[in-house]
Amino acid sequence: MVQGTLLYAQSGGVTAVINASAAGVIAEARARKVKVLAARNGILGALREDLIDTSRESAAAIAALAHTPGGAFGSCRYKLKSLDADRAKYERLLQVLQAHDVRYFLYNGGNDSADTAWKVSQLAQAFGYPLHCIGVPKTIDNDLAVTDTCPGFGSAAKFTAVSVREAALDVAAMAETSTKVFVYEAMGRHAGWLAAAAGLAAQSPDDAPQIILFPERAYDEAAFLAQVDKVVKTVGWCVVVASEGIQTADGRFVADAGGGTDSFGHTQLGGVASYLAGKVKESLGYKVHWTLPDYLQRSARHIASRTDWDQAQAVGKAAVQYALKGMNAVMPAIVRSSDAPYRWKVEAVPLHKVANHEKKMPAGFLRKDGFGITDKARRYLQPLIRGEAPLPYGNDGLPKYVTLKNVPVKKKLPAWEG
């Protein structure tokens, strides 16, 4: 019997497969007879000592957890600052861990979470408390350093490529007498990874999306509109995929320009697709439709990528193995050894190499004209959307997603005054 308890917490925006990582953690820990607690609503639950006893969940529930989107224990947007600025919080966290004999702390999130896990490990060392802190990667933004890709991205990428291809078939069929231009808004405030993934829908130059707008390139309205017009005149219709983060050359977010005042004089929320659609209609006169998939793109477990799902489970499992081996301040990263055939493995990387770095899209991934992706990008992206992750459906036609019992652990400490 391994000594000590494992605490698992989810952090930041959830994905279609973060629960697959959670299931990987719990299944591996159970196999090794390690007790797993989960923090409710991420690090906030850890600070509040609001912990969940995962041993109360059946094996069937944990198996179903692996194919349930969202964050089963709750997540949060809550960033701990530096050790100096937030010292009381870090110390409280350590107190909670100690009170529940937590020797393994697994934090499932993005850049900030890697940073937090690293700081907690530093503090534990300073206090002489034997704690193994492991980061578990997760983000649809695909912007974590070192790892080849991030669990969550591949499934959102697959949703994007499939949806764009499907919508394009609709637009192509109707273009003569109806919509000629369709604009799809992809998530990605800082990097155009998901917009790039839409490029996988195209097999030849005239295929949709004929135009992709990336935050990596300044948005040039005249050039954009000219390109739309050119595509419509050549192909008969045009599908545009725009990253929410596109900016003009002077650094203004186009999404902010889209907001304004509605016809009643009230605040109108912004949006890149709605803005671009308005421009196309106004300047070119084409009938236009647009979509803002928003959370649908990051929660669509029904169209999850098998590669992504496998990797999400693998990093969860590896995190437990690293912790039990006595490793500390590391994160399981996806390492790619070959594009075709696609080969990957999981390797431990130091958390400080991941924390506070942001992986940008390589310049070589964008076509010279800035409106599409290169073959190099395709070779990188393609394996990430490959395969269909299995999903059981009920007789009601809906996926069988699980709701855990989330039984709380009895508190041992005074309430947190944070």
Q: Of residues 99-118, which lie at the interface with its own copies (CB under 8 A)?
A: none
d(CA 328, CA 356): 18
Q: Does 71 bind its own copies (CB under 8 A)?
A: yes
Residue 1 labeled ligand binder: no
Instruction: Please list every residue from 261 through 280 that binds its own copies, using CB under 8 A.
Output: 261-264, 266-269, 271, 274-275, 277-279
Q: Does 174 bind its own copies (CB under 8 A)?
A: yes
Q: Using CB atoms within 10 A of its CB, is residue 334 exposed (0-12), middle (13-18) or buried (19+)? A: buried
| Minimum CB distance to its own copies smaller for 198 or for 324 | 198
Q: Does 126 bind its own copies (CB under 8 A)?
A: no
| Minimum CB distance to its own copies smaller for 72 or for 133 | 72
Per the annotation, the verdict on 141 as an active-site residue is yes
Select from 30, 32, 190, 302 the one that contacts its own copies (CB under 8 A): 302
Q: Does 158 bind its own copies (CB under 8 A)?
A: yes
Residue 141 labeled ligand binder: yes
Q: Does 300 bind its own copies (CB under 8 A)?
A: yes
**From 112, 115, 141, 143, active-site residue:** 141
Q: Does 167 bind its own copies (CB under 8 A)?
A: yes
d(CA 23, CA 59): 10
Q: Does 180 bind its own copies (CB under 8 A)?
A: no
Contact range with its own copies by CB under 8 A, out of 87-95, 100-108, 319-327, 395-403: 395-403
Contact range with its own copies by CB under 8 A, out of 11-19, 82-90, 145-153, 316-324: 11-19
Q: Does 172 bind its own copies (CB under 8 A)?
A: yes
Select from 55, 285, 388, 412 the one that contacts its own copies (CB under 8 A): 388
d(CA 5, CA 376): 44
* Length, in residues, of the chain: 418
Residue 296 labeled ligand binder: yes
The answer to whether 134 touches 21, Cβ cutoff 8 Å, is no
The residue to which tokens 């999850």 are assigned: 304
Q: Does 221 bind its own copies (CB under 8 A)?
A: no
Q: Does 387 bind its own copies (CB under 8 A)?
A: yes
Residue 191 is classified by DSSP as: -
Select from 398, 410, 414, 415 the one that contacts its own copies (CB under 8 A): 398
Q: Does 339 bind its own copies (CB under 8 A)?
A: no
| CB 4, min distance to its own copies, A | 27
Dihedral sign (CA 214, 216, 221, 224): negative
| Minimum CB distance to its own copies smaller for 74 or for 215 | 74
| Minimum CB distance to its own copies smaller for 362 or for 390 | 390
Nearest by Cα to 412 from 101, 80, 130, 56: 101
Q: Does 407 bind its own copies (CB under 8 A)?
A: no
The Cβ of residue 124 has, within 10 Å, a number of other Cβ atoms equal to 23
d(CA 56, CA 90): 28
209: which residues sit within 8 A by CB, 6+ positions away?
A: 164, 168, 184, 198, 199, 201, 202, 239, 240, 241, 372
260: which residues sit within 8 A by CB, 6+ positions away?
A: 268, 270
| Minimum CB distance to its own copies smaller for 163 or for 328 | 163
Nearest by Cα to 202 from 161, 233, 154, 244: 161
Q: Does 77 bind its own copies (CB under 8 A)?
A: yes
Nearest by Cα to 19 from 57, 46, 48, 45: 57
Residue 111 labeled ligand binder: yes
| CB 74, min distance to its own copies, A | 5
Nearest by Cα to 346 from 361, 330, 325, 366: 330
The Cβ of residue 81 has, within 10 Å, a number of other Cβ atoms equal to 13
Select from 30, 32, 281, 352 the one that contacts its own copies (CB under 8 A): 281
d(CA 130, CA 103): 6
Residues in binding site for substrate: 139-141, 187-189, 244, 295-298
What residue numbers does the annotated binding site for Mg(2+) cover? Answer: 111
Q: Which residues are catalytic?
A: 141
